[in-house]
Chain A
Amino acid sequence: MTDEHGTETSENSTHTITSRDSHTLPMTGLVQQFDSEATDAGCEVRRAAVEDFAEEIADLLEPPAVGAPLPFDGVSLPERATTDPTPAELESAETGITPARFAVADYGSVAIESTPAGDEQVSLWPGHHVAVLAESDLVADMPAGIERVGEIARAGGDVVLATGPSATADMGELVLGAHGPRSVSVVLLEDR
C-alpha cells in the first residue's frame, strides 16, 4: 500500500513530454491527459516515432535487461534485452521491457497482459519497467478500460492495470519500489 502518491497534481500546462526529436506529431487530448496523469503517478513518459524507437529505448535501458516481445509493426526489442529469461536472470535484471496492451488516459494506467513469454514477470521483477504503448491503444476512462479488460478476461487472459511504480508506506514512510519496480517509463509510439 502506498501513501499519497498519485494524488498530487502537477503543472499540466508547463509539462512537456521528453522527446529526442523535433518532428513529433501534435499531441491529442488523450495523449496529453495520459502524459499528465502517468507523470503525476510517478512515471516518466516519452513519445517516439517508430523510426526513433531504437534510440529512445537504448537511452532508457540500464543493463542487464530482460524483455517480452513487442507486437508493434517496425518495432523490436533491443538485442541487449534477454527474452525468455531464466528466473535467475529476471531476479538480477535492472530493466524489464514489455508492451502495454492499452492504457487508461485519465488514470495514467498501463495494461500489462500476461503471456507465455512472461510479460507479467518481466514487468514486475526488474527495478525499472519500460512499457511500450501504441498511442492508438489509449482509452479515455476507467469504464472503457474495464471494457477492454473484460474482453481479455473473457478470453481467459490475465491483466494488470499498473499505475506508477510499486510503493509501500508499511515501513513508516512512503517508499517507492516495494516488491515491484521502483521506476516506470512509458514510451508512447506516436505513429502506432
Chain B
Amino acid sequence: MSGTLDREEKAARIRHLLSTEGDSVERNTQGFNRGRYDAVADLSDYEELKSQARAVKEDAIARLPELIETVRESVQSRGGHVYLAEDAADANRYVREVVESENADSVVKSKSMTSEEIEVNDALREAGAEVWETDLGEFVLQVADEAPSHIVAPAIHKSEADIAELFNAHFDPDEPLETADDLTRFAREYLAERIAGADVGMTGANFVAADTGTLALVTSEGNARKTVAATDTHVAVAGVEKLLPRFEDVAPFVELIGRSGTGQDITSYVTFLTPPGDAPTMDFEDDSLSEGADNREFHLVLLDNGRMEMREDDQLRETLYCIRCSACANSCANFQHVGGHAFGGETYSGGIATGWEAGVHGLDSAAEFNDFCTGCTRCVNQCPVEIDIPWINTVVRDRLNRGESNKFDFLVDGLTPDEETESGGLDLQKRLFGNFPTLARLGSATAPVSNWVARAPGTRALAERALGVDSRRDLPEFQRESLREWFAARGGTTVRDADREAVLYPDPYTDYVAVERGKAAVRTLEALGVSVRIPDLPASGRAPLSQGMISTAESRAEAVADALAPHLDADRDVVVIEPSDLAMFRADYRKLLPEEAASRIADRSYELFEYLYGLLENGADADTLRASDGERVAYHSHCQQRTLGLEEYTTEVLGELGYDVVSSDAECCGMAGSFGYKREYYELSMDVGTDLRDQFADEERVVASGTSCCEQLAALRDETVGHPIRRIAPAE
C-alpha cells in the first residue's frame, strides 16, 4: 500500500468507521479495559497465574503431535469421534458429512471464531441445512449479514438503537422493540424455537484437555449449554492449539480468561464436557427428559489450517499460545476507536490477529491491517499468556516489506537485509520514517533553511503525495545548534571527580529538535552531582524497527552496543530521555542482539526520571532543583514507558519537589511515533488523541515524556507541550 489513491481510500474507510461504529466500539472496549484493570488488581497471584498459563501453553504446543494422539484415544474410548482437519475445506467436508448422515435439516451453533475461520455456515447451507447462530451477538450479525468486529463481543460496533432498528425492520414485531431487554427477550424466544427444532449442535472449545477428552466452554448467555443439551449430535470445532496436556492445566486459564477479556472475575458459565456425558438429549415430542438418555453422539474436529506450520515458525509460534481473550484489542488505543472492521483481517481482529491471519489465511490478509499496531506495547502486560504481540506485528511487517506474499517462503529463504529490498519493495513512506535520524541530522545542519523549506506549501503537498506525510501535521523544527554542539561549546560537563558518571543518550530528536530538554537534563544531572558525557552515539534503531525494518534495526543495535561498550566498561550509566529509545535498550534489544550484549545494555540504562529518582533516594540534594509550592501539573506518560513500569518515577519526583501531579490513563496519545503523521491514519490518530485531550481539558500546564506525545498534545491543545525535566531543571 503505497500510492496516493490507496492512502485516500484507506483514510476514507477509517473516517467512515469512526463516524458509524467508533462510538459504540469505544464505549464497549474501554469498559472492558477498565474492567480488566480492576479485575486483575483483585487477583493477588496474577503475575504467577500468567506465568503458569504461559508454561502450560509452551509445553502443550511443543508436544502437540503427541497430544493429538492422546485426545484421539481419550475421546474414542468414550465412543466419540476425532477428526484432524488439514484445512478449512477438509473441516467443512467432514462437518457436512456428519450433518448429512444425521439427516439434519437444522443446525444450531454457539459462538466460535474457529467456525468463522472455516466459514462452516456456508458449507452447511450448501448441504441443505438451516444454520442458526444462538449467541445473541452472532445472531445480530447473522440478521444484519455482517462480520464480527471483536473476537469476544462480535456485535460490539452496534448500539441498542442500531439493533432495535435492525430487528424492527427485519422481523416486523407486533410491538416495536426498543430496549436491550426487549431485544434480548425477543431473540431468546426466537432462538428457543430454533434450538428446540435443531438436530445438530455446533460449538467451539476454549480448551481441550487431551488426557480426559474434556472440552471447556467459557460463556455467559447459556446458549452453548442449550446448543449441546437440546440436540443429540454435538460437533465441536477447535484449533489444534486448544489442546492442553492434563485436565487440571485448565485452572489458571479459568481464572484469567474472563478477567482478561471483559473484566469479569469469571463468566457466568464455564462448562466442562466429557462427551457423551450423562445429560439426556431432548426430543420435544418426548414424554419425559429421561427418555433421551444415552443417545448422544460426539465429533471433535481439530483444525490445522496452517497451525502446524506456525508451530515450526520461531516468530509466529507464540500466536498459538493465544486464548483469544481480546485483552490486546481492548487495551489498544487504535482498536478502541476503529474496531475490528478496520483493525482485523478475514477472521480475527486486534493485535494478535496479525499472527493468526498470517498463519491461517496468509500474509495478504495480515497486510490489510498490520499498520494499525503502532508498537505502543500497551497490550504486552495485558496478555494472559505473555505474548509479545508488538513483536509479532513487527515480524509480519518485515515480511510484508520484503514482499513475501506466499505464506512460508521465509522459512526457506531466511531473512535478507532490508537494504537489499529497500530500493525495490519498501514503501517510500516507510523509508522516510525509518530513516528519521538521518533526516534529523540533515535538517539540523541546514536549519533554518530546512524548516522554511518544510513549511513551504508546495513542499507539504509534495510530501503528502509522494511520502504520505499528512499536511495537517506540524513538522519537527530543527535547531541550528545541536545538543552535542552546545555541550561541546560549553566545554563538556561542569562536574569533575564525581562518584557517578553518566552517558546522556543523544537521541536524534533531543539532539536536533527538542534541544532544550537535553540541556535541562544535563543541568539537572549535574546539579545532583553526576558527571555527564554526551558522546556521538548511533540512533537506537527504533525508527526502522517501527516500520518493520528488522535487519536495519539489528545493525543499529549492534552499532549502539559497540559504541556503548567502552562506556559500560568504564562503569558509566546510560541515561535516556526519549522513552521509545529506552524501550529499545531495555526490551527490544533482547530480540535484536545476543543475550549477553542485550542484558549488559538493559541493566545499565535508565529513563531520565527513573535515574533522578534513584539519585534522590540515595541522598542527592533535591534543593538544587526547581521546586514548586503546589503548582498543578498534568502528566502524560509514554506508552512504552508505562509498559516498562516507569511512569511513577516522574510523578514521584515531581511530587517530591512539591508539584501537584495528575496523570492520564489514556493508553496512548494516538501519535505513536510516525503513525499520526501518515496521511491515511491522521484522522484516527487525532480521534484517539481526543481521549487525552478531554482528560486534560481543564488542566493549564501539561507535560509529557515522549516526543510524539508532546507533539500530539501540542496539536490537540494548540500550545507547546514540553518534557517534565524542563519544569524542574535549575536555571542556566
Contact = CB atoms under 8 A, between A and B. Distances in A.
Interface of A: 1-7, 41, 84-88, 90-91, 107, 109, 113-121, 124-125, 142-143, 146-147, 149-150, 152-154, 156-175, 177-181
A1 B272 contact: no
B436 interface: no
B333 interface: no
Given A86-B289, A146-B254, A180-B269, A171 B282 contact: no
B78 interface: yes
Interface of B: 24, 28, 31, 35, 38-39, 42, 78, 134-137, 139-140, 152-155, 158-163, 179-181, 183-184, 187-188, 191-192, 196, 209, 212, 214, 219-223, 225-226, 229, 247-248, 250-251, 254-255, 258, 262-280, 282-284, 286-290, 293
B223 A179 contact: yes
Contacts of B247: 146, 149-150, 153-154
Contacts of B263: 4, 7
A156 B136 contact: no
B274 A156 contact: yes
A122 to B, nearest CB: 8
B35 A3 contact: yes
B31 A3 contact: yes
A156 B275 CA distance: 7
Nearest to B152: A1
8 contacts: A2-B262, A7-B38, A150-B212, A163-B269, A172-B161, A178-B184, A179-B226, A180-B269
A interface SS class: loop
Contacts of B278: 113-116, 156-158
A2 B160 CA distance: 15
B268 A162 contact: yes
A157 B274 contact: yes
Given A3-B31, A154-B247, A162-B268, 17 more contacts: A1-B220, A5-B264, A6-B264, A86-B286, A107-B265, A120-B279, A121-B289, A124-B225, A124-B226, A143-B248, A150-B248, A175-B180, A175-B184, A178-B136, A179-B191, A179-B192, A180-B269
Nearest to A84: B288
Nearest to B183: A171
Contacts of B273: 158
A115 B180 contact: no
| 10 nearest A-B residue pairs (beta carbon) | A180-B222, A172-B160, A178-B221, A170-B137, A114-B279, A158-B277, A173-B180, A171-B180, A170-B136, A179-B222
A158 B271 contact: yes
Contacts of A163: 265-270
Nearest to A144: B251
A1 B287 CA distance: 33
B28 to A, nearest CB: 7
A157 B271 CA distance: 11
A87 B279 contact: no
B222 A178 contact: yes
Contacts of B222: 124, 166, 178-181
B187 A7 contact: no
A68 to B, nearest CB: 9
A1 B262 contact: yes
Nearest to A150: B247
A117 B179 CA distance: 37
Nearest to B136: A170
Given A87-B284, A157-B278, A170 B135 contact: yes
Given A87-B284, A172-B162, A161 B251 contact: no
Given A124-B226, A154-B247, A179-B223, A117 B290 contact: yes
B325 to A, nearest CB: 12
Nearest to B28: A169
A180 B181 contact: no
Contact of B225 (A172, A173, A180): A180
A162 B180 contact: no
A167 B262 contact: no
Contacts of A177: 184, 188
A117 B289 contact: yes
Interface centre among A4, A114, A150, A171 (most CB of B within 10 A): A171
Contacts of A41: 265-266
Contacts of B264: 2, 4-7
Given A156-B277, A166-B268, A1 B221 contact: yes
Contacts of A179: 134, 136, 188, 191-192, 221-223, 225-226
Contacts of B284: 87-88
Contacts of A169: 28, 153, 262
A76 B444 CA distance: 86
Contacts of A147: 248
B98 to A, nearest CB: 21
A174 B255 CA distance: 22
Given A2-B267, A164-B268, A178 B220 contact: yes
A169 B656 CA distance: 44
Interface centre among A6, A113, A162, A163 (most CB of B within 10 A): A6
B274 A171 contact: no
A112 to B, nearest CB: 9
Contacts of A3: 31, 35, 262
B203 to A, nearest CB: 13
B284 to A, nearest CB: 5
B274 A85 contact: no
B174 to A, nearest CB: 19
Nearest to B246: A150
A96 to B, nearest CB: 12
A152 B163 CA distance: 41
Given A179-B191, A179-B223, A2 B268 contact: yes
Contacts of B250: 146
Interface centre among A3, A119, A152 (most CB of B within 10 A): A3
A154 B290 contact: no
A167 B266 contact: no
Given A2-B264, A3-B31, A166 B229 contact: no
